[in-house]
Every structure is written in structure tokens, then in C-alpha cells.
A and B are shown apart, each in its own frame.
Chain A
Amino acid sequence: MKKTKFIILLLFLLVMAGIILISYAQFKKEIQRDYRQIKESGQSLIGVLSLPSTANLLTGPNDYFFRELSQNAIGNKIAYCIIHDAKTKPVLLFSPGNLDQQVPESIINQSLLEKGFVMQEFLTPQGIGLIEFAKPVFKENKMAAVVRLGLKLPTNTFFTYEHLVLPSQIIFFILLALVFGYYWTILSFKHLESIKMPGSETSRIKQGKGDVKDIIENLEVYLASVKEKTSLAESNRQKLESRLKISQFENKQFFNIFNAFDFGVLLIDSRDLVFFANTYLLDILGQSQEDLINFSYYDVIEHEGLKAFIMQLIAAERHLGSKDKNMTFEETDPGQFYQASSSNIADAEGALFIRLIRVVNVSREKEAEKLQQDFVNHIAHELRTPLTNIKAYNEMMMDGEINNAEMQKEFFNTINDETNRLAKLISSILELAETEMGQLTVTKDMVKTDWLMEGCIEAVEAVAKEKDITIERQVPDNFPKIMGDKEMLKSALINILGNAVKYSPESAKITFAIKEVDDMVVFEINDTGFGMDDKDLPHIFEKFYRSENDDVVEQNGSGLGLAITAEIIKTHDGFIEVESELDKGSRFTIKIPMGDLIIG
């Protein structure tokens, strides 16, 4: 280490000495140049001054001469200019700093006595270097005057700003070179470190005596190591490339999955740029991937509703939670209802990574909602009609408007009938609700069909008797048994048998048959009543559906009976078929599987 420091110190000293020498040489060169310039200027100036016309100055006007001279005095470093007459007496004098006073006698004498050009260098007693040029002026071949011109010699000193510029520049550039050199070396070494031979390999290099064989062997080992490193780098490159391909493939797979969704997906990154839109969404937006990807959603999403939803979503990230938004795409998917919802996907640190927006077709849900709403409206209407009657008839009675005893009886009967109608309607609605809940409320048991038949006939007998309607039983030798909910089945059959009685004219005939066919019990109810129109048949099992046939409208009914029956039969895995002809009658056939009978 000490040796290195010494070398560095030595180098530093050498560099400094070099700088000083260069600077000094430069300085000397400048002095010589200035010296030469002064000599040349002096010679040319004295040449001009000693022209014959100068003699005229001694007698004529000389202001111009002195003005010109004084203007040049600084530039040419003129110390003084004296013009002597023929008798060596100074006649004209120009000396801004009075330096002429300091010229030694010997110099003056020499200048005045010589018949030609004289150039003398000297130092004034005050130490100022001067150079005197002297030349006689001839007029008409006679010496008319002598011109003496004193110029200042260059007084350059080494330590001036001007002279220090050069060494400073040299030092600056050396320092710059050192800094660059240092970092370049560090970087080079770092790079080399990555392919530095491992310890084991170093040991493989023979510590030979430095002969050519050893050197070649060492080089071979080193070369093998370099090759190994190169192949490792190549394999790393291949691994990275394959990882990139896998990642691209995975991305593509993700996009394929998104494209398979039956709802719209839009991905927007944290910079509000569209990252992906699946084909479903593109279809309903009527835009292409190229229109959207890597653009700000605000600039490219044309659908105002969706754009507004995203804006709210982004605003809500800072304030309140966002709500789902309903929208339609009338241009691309008219008549359909959509709902947009969103979720934010964050990275491991919890920072927002991507926003996922789903646009789902909710037309079916809307339809179900509407059906539900219609159902509620129907119930309200159906319940309010008997309620209106009860209220209205009651109000009239209470107001004392009905005094006639017969009318009073009629009113009481109507109130009673309407109360019963209301009660029946409420039980029908409850029954329907229970049946629609399906298996949950069904208690299956072994049901004897003879009991079912008698129960049903008993329920409608009174009304049938009023209308003089006969119900004929058609029964097998052995009544079959079925597994089911006896009350439900009874209710289902009463609805059909009741309708047969209700919609048959007086003195009509109804047949109620029970058969056993292929592990199924078949109930058949035939009437010779009003029958049904072809346009009514497809709707008779719908809730609240009522025919507009006058014979049907005449009769009270909720429009729920057959809907309840169909639901009960469905719960028992059975079937119901209807054949009907207007003014001829109807035939209802119900088939219920017997099921695995448990004989208790």
C-alpha cells in the first residue's frame, strides 16, 4: 500500500511540475510575442513620424498630430514622443506619464547623435522597462529634426488571471478524466465480477512457473469457465423467454375465459385506461377491442350510462360506496335490461390494481319481478272486490238507506257471501303459496282413492244439488292406493269437480272415474257444461286467468283454483290433461304415480 501511495504522490508531483512548465513556456511565449509586437509597432510608428512632413509640425499647426498620438498612446503603449529641432532642442513633447523625465542622458544623447535609426532598451530608475526608437527627419537633404519615441516593454507577470486560466483548465480536465476513469473502472470490474471464476475453478488454474504451457492451460480453464457462464446466461435467457410466453399464454387464457362469460366484463387499470373488454361487452357496446384498449375509458366508451357508472365508481373510491346501475343498450340489444356492478382488485400491498366492471343482462329477473308485481296487483284487486262489497253494502245499511225488509235480507246475504268469498280467496292464496313452496310442506302418506273420491263429491254435493246436477261414479273393483299428501290431492280434485259443477247448466251430468293404468292412478272428470274456447285452453292453469266467456264471468271465481291444482299435481310428479269444446263440455284427466306404497 505504501508503495502505491508513493507512486501516486510521485505522479501527482510530476503532473504539477508538468503543468507549471507548460504554463511557464506559454507565459514566455506570450512575452516574446508582445516584445516582438512592440518592436514592430515602434519601428513602423517611428517610420511614419520621421517623414519630411514632420518638420512642418515644428512651425505649423500640430494639434492634429498630438490628438492622433494621444489616441494611440494607450493602445501602442507609448510612453513618450519627443521631437527635437535641428539643434537637438526638444520642441514638441508628448508624455502622458512624464516618463520622458526618467530617460537616462546616455540614451538621449545616443538618439540625438546618431544619423540614422536607433533602438535602445533601458530601465528607468523606477524599474519600468522602456524601448526608445529615434530617427532623424530630413528635409531638403538636411536634418530638420529628430523624433524620439519611447514605448513600454511588456510587463507581464506570471500570476495574473489570464495566465492562471491555462493551468486551471489543465487541472480541471485531469480531475475530470480521473473521475470518469474511476467510475469506468468500477463498472468494468463489476461487470467482470459476474463472470468471475468460482473458487473451485481458481484452484483448477495451476500456479505454474509462468511458462507458456502453464499460461495456455490456465487460459483453457478460464475459457471453459467463460463458456459455462455463457451457456448459463443463455439458459437463463431461454427460461425468461419461456416464462414470458407462459405469461402471455396465461393472459390469453384469462381473456378466453372472460370471453366465454355470458355477461360483459370490462377491466380498467389504476390510470383509468381500458385494459380489457370481453366480446360480450364489445357486442352490446358495438365497439371493437382496438377502439378501447389502452385508451382512457372517458375518451372511448361511447355508452353514456356505462361511462357515468365508471365515473361514479372512480369518484366513490374516494368517497362513498358505489351502487349497481341499471341500463339498456337500445341500439345493439333493444328491449333488454342490464345491470352494471363492479369490484376492485388490489395488489399484495392493497393498492388498487384493476377495476372489474360486470354488465349483466337482468331482463329475466326484471320479468320475474314484473310477474311478482302483477301477482301482487292481482291479489290486491281480487281481495279488494269482496271487501268493497262488504264495505259498500254495510255503509248503505248503516246509513239507514235500506228500509225494505226484503232488501235488507238481500244485503245481509250479500255481505255474508262476500265475506265467505274473501275468506275463500285468502285460503286459496295461502294454499297456492304453500304449494309453490313444493316438497317442503308436502307430507306424503298412503292415500286411499275411495276416500278421496267420496271427500270430493261430498264437498261439491250441496251446490250440485241446488242445480240438480248428478255426479256419476265410475270405479274399479279394487280402489288403488297412492303415496301423496291426502289434503292436497283432495283439494286439487275438488277444484276440478267444483268447476265442473260451477260451469255446467242446471240438470247436467258429471262423471268422476278412477282407473289404474301402468302404476299410475288416473282420475277422470267429465262434464257436459259450457266448455272452453280454444283461446282460453292454453292459459287455464295460469294464476288469475279468467275466461271472458259470459258464462264464466257470471260466476264468482278467483282464477287461482286450476293454478293450485296444477301445482299440487306437479308436486306429486303427476300430469294433467284437458280436452274441451265450447258448449259441449270438458274432460280433465289427472295421472298420479302410485309411488312406493308403505303398507302400515
Chain B
Amino acid sequence: MDKKKTILIIDDDVHIRRILEIKIKHSGYDTLTAKNGKQGLEIIQDQKPDAVISDLNMPRLDGEALCKLTDPIKKDRPFLTIIITARINPQEQKWIDEMIDTMFMEKPFSPSKIVEALAKYFENTNS
């Protein structure tokens, strides 16, 4: 039996953190949470989560900066990043496409869809 995958949830909104935490735990994963990008980056470096779900607009370190900092880490240890954004625009689409294993989901998102994306990613990486 594989070890439970750990998912890091980064969002400055307490309710979003809470609902994602419940949904992801219900789906059989372990969760970690962070209030901003800075905190999230520290957790990524220390606890090496298997996937990251992050808001785009956050205090301290936003989602874009976080992705750019974690992209070099992904070369050695790939993991999925799901960026949650209010509305995707062409510039955002461009930098997201340039990142390793990074996708976006527009608000208002469905927690089930996030879990589906996680499952699909782990399925592909394990096979």
C-alpha cells in the first residue's frame, strides 16, 4: 500500500482553506495548509508535499512568484500545482504554460473537480 499523498493548500481565505481541507481529506489524502505564499514555500521545502493547491492573489508571496520559485525544485522532484484564480487572462495562461506540472482552475471552482485533477495526476505519475 502506497503512503498517503500529501496535499498543500495555500490560500489567504480561511473558508477556502477549510473546505478544500475537508474535501481532500475525505478523498483519502493528507493535507497541509498555509495562509500565504511565503509560508507555503517553506512547507514545500521542508515537508515536500505531493501536490500544491494555491490561490493566485495572496499577501507576502503571490501564486505566480511561488510557482517561479518552486519550478526549479520540480526538476528533481516533480509535483502538481493547481493555481486558483478569479479569471484567467492571456498573460497568466502564458506563464502557467511555461511551468512544470502546473494547471489552473477558475473561481468559483468545484472541490470535486480539484480532487479529480489530483487523482488523474497521481494516476499518470504512478503508471
| A and B are interacting partners | yes
Which residues of A does B touch, CB under 8 Å?
A: 377, 380-381, 383-385, 387-393, 395-396, 399, 401-402, 407, 414, 417-418, 546-548, 550, 553-554
Closest CB-CB distance, A420 to chain B, in whole Å? 12
- B112 and A388 form a contact (CB under 8 A): no
- A401 and B26 form a contact (CB under 8 A): yes
- A389 and B15 form a contact (CB under 8 A): yes
**Given A384-B107, A387-B107, A391-B108: A377 and B23 within 8 A (CB)?**
no
**Given A384-B87, A388-B16, A548-B60: A396 and B107 within 8 A (CB)?**
no
Interface centre among A377, A383, A392, A396 (most CB of B within 10 A): A392
- B108 and A388 form a contact (CB under 8 A): yes
- B59 and A548 form a contact (CB under 8 A): yes
Residues on B with beta carbons closer than 8 Å to the beta carbon of A554: 14
Closest CB-CB distance, B109 to chain A, in whole Å? 6
Known A381-B85, A388-B84, A548-B60; further 7 A-B contacts with Cβ < 8 A: A385-B107, A392-B109, A393-B19, A395-B112, A401-B23, A418-B15, A547-B59
- B87 and A395 form a contact (CB under 8 A): no
Residues on B with beta carbons closer than 8 Å to the beta carbon of A399: 112
- A381 and B36 form a contact (CB under 8 A): no
- B87 and A387 form a contact (CB under 8 A): no
**Given A377-B87, A414-B15, A418-B15: A392 and B60 within 8 A (CB)?**
no
Kindly state whether residue B30 has any CB partner on chain A within 8 Å: no
Closest CB-CB distance, B13 to chain A, in whole Å? 6
Residues on B with beta carbons closer than 8 Å to the beta carbon of A381: 57, 85-87, 107
- A393 and B15 form a contact (CB under 8 A): yes
Closest CB-CB distance, B121 to chain A, in whole Å? 20
Residues on A with beta carbons closer than 8 Å to the beta carbon of B127: none
Kindly state whether residue B110 has any CB partner on chain A within 8 Å: yes
Residues on A with beta carbons closer than 8 Å to the beta carbon of B57: 381
- B59 and A384 form a contact (CB under 8 A): no
Flag B1-41 by CB within 8 Å of A: 1 or 0 each.
00000000000111110111011001000000001100000
Flag B35-61 by CB within 8 Å of A: 1 or 0 each.
110000000000000000000010110
Q: How far is the CA of A391 from the CA of B110 in the complex (A)?
A: 7
Residues on B with beta carbons closer than 8 Å to the beta carbon of A391: 108-110
Residues on A with beta carbons closer than 8 Å to the beta carbon of B13: 385, 389
Q: How far is the CA of A417 from the CA of B12 in the complex (A)?
A: 17
18 inter-chain pairs at a CB distance below 8 angstroms, sorted by A residue, are A377-B87, A381-B86, A387-B108, A388-B16, A389-B19, A390-B108, A391-B108, A391-B110, A392-B19, A393-B15, A396-B22, A399-B112, A401-B23, A414-B18, A414-B19, A546-B59, A547-B59, A548-B60
Closest CB-CB distance, A540 to chain B, in whole Å? 15
- A380 and B86 form a contact (CB under 8 A): yes
Of B12, B87, B112, the residue contacting A553 (CB under 8 A) is B12
Kindly state whether residue B111 has any CB partner on chain A within 8 Å: yes
Residues on B with beta carbons closer than 8 Å to the beta carbon of A395: 110-112
Closest CB-CB distance, B58 to chain A, in whole Å? 9
Minimum CB distance partner of A418 in chain B: B15
Closest CB-CB distance, A548 to chain B, in whole Å? 4
Q: How far is the CA of A510 from the CA of B112 in the complex (A)?
A: 45
- A392 and B111 form a contact (CB under 8 A): yes
Residues on A with beta carbons closer than 8 Å to the beta carbon of B16: 385, 388-389, 392
**Given A388-B108, A389-B13: A396 and B60 within 8 A (CB)?**
no
Residues on A with beta carbons closer than 8 Å to the beta carbon of B107: 381, 384-385, 387-388
Interface centre among B22, B36, B84, B89 (most CB of A within 10 A): B22
Closest CB-CB distance, B105 to chain A, in whole Å? 10
Closest CB-CB distance, A402 to chain B, in whole Å? 8
Minimum CB distance partner of A552 in chain B: B59
Interface centre among B26, B108, B111 (most CB of A within 10 A): B108
- A553 and B19 form a contact (CB under 8 A): no
Residues on A with beta carbons closer than 8 Å to the beta carbon of B110: 391-392, 395
Minimum CB distance partner of A547 in chain B: B59
Q: How far is the CA of A554 from the CA of B20 in the complex (A)?
A: 18
Closest CB-CB distance, B63 to chain A, in whole Å? 12
Residues on A with beta carbons closer than 8 Å to the beta carbon of B85: 381
Q: How far is the CA of A568 from the CA of B45 in the complex (A)?
A: 47
Residues on A with beta carbons closer than 8 Å to the beta carbon of B14: 554
Closest CB-CB distance, A412 to chain B, in whole Å? 13
Residues on A with beta carbons closer than 8 Å to the beta carbon of B111: 392, 395-396
Give 9 nearest A-B pairs by CB, closest first: A548-B59, A381-B86, A384-B107, A388-B108, A391-B108, A384-B86, A388-B107, A389-B15, A392-B19
Minimum CB distance partner of B86 in chain A: A381
- B19 and A377 form a contact (CB under 8 A): no
Interface centre among A383, A396, A402, A546 (most CB of B within 10 A): A396
Q: How far is the CA of A390 from the CA of B109 in the complex (A)?
A: 10
Minimum CB distance partner of A392 in chain B: B19
Closest CB-CB distance, B33 to chain A, in whole Å? 14
Minimum CB distance partner of B107 in chain A: A384
Minimum CB distance partner of A417 in chain B: B15
Closest CB-CB distance, B71 to chain A, in whole Å? 23
Q: How far is the CA of A385 from the CA of B15 in the complex (A)?
A: 9
> Which of chain B's residues 97-127 have a Cβ closer than 8 Å to chain A?
107-112
Residues on B with beta carbons closer than 8 Å to the beta carbon of A402: 22
Residues on B with beta carbons closer than 8 Å to the beta carbon of A401: 22-23, 26
Closest CB-CB distance, A282 to chain B, in whole Å? 35
Interface centre among A381, A385, A546 (most CB of B within 10 A): A385
Closest CB-CB distance, A550 to chain B, in whole Å? 7
Residues on A with beta carbons closer than 8 Å to the beta carbon of B59: 546-548, 553
Residues on B with beta carbons closer than 8 Å to the beta carbon of A389: 13, 15-16, 19
Interface centre among B14, B15, B36, B60 (most CB of A within 10 A): B15
Q: How far is the CA of A389 from the CA of B84 in the complex (A)?
A: 13
Residues on B with beta carbons closer than 8 Å to the beta carbon of A407: 22
Closest CB-CB distance, A148 to chain B, in whole Å? 124
Q: How far is the CA of A392 from the CA of B108 in the complex (A)?
A: 8
Residues on A with beta carbons closer than 8 Å to the beta carbon of B26: 401
Q: How far is the CA of A595 from the CA of B59 in the complex (A)?
A: 42
Closest CB-CB distance, A408 to chain B, in whole Å? 12
Residues on B with beta carbons closer than 8 Å to the beta carbon of A418: 15
Q: How far is the CA of A157 from the CA of B8 in the complex (A)?
A: 132
Q: How far is the CA of A546 from the CA of B62 in the complex (A)?
A: 14
Closest CB-CB distance, B35 to chain A, in whole Å? 7
Q: How far is the CA of A33 from the CA of B48 in the complex (A)?
A: 134
Q: How far is the CA of A390 from the CA of B110 in the complex (A)?
A: 10
Residues on B with beta carbons closer than 8 Å to the beta carbon of A380: 86-87
Residues on A with beta carbons closer than 8 Å to the beta carbon of B23: 392, 396, 401
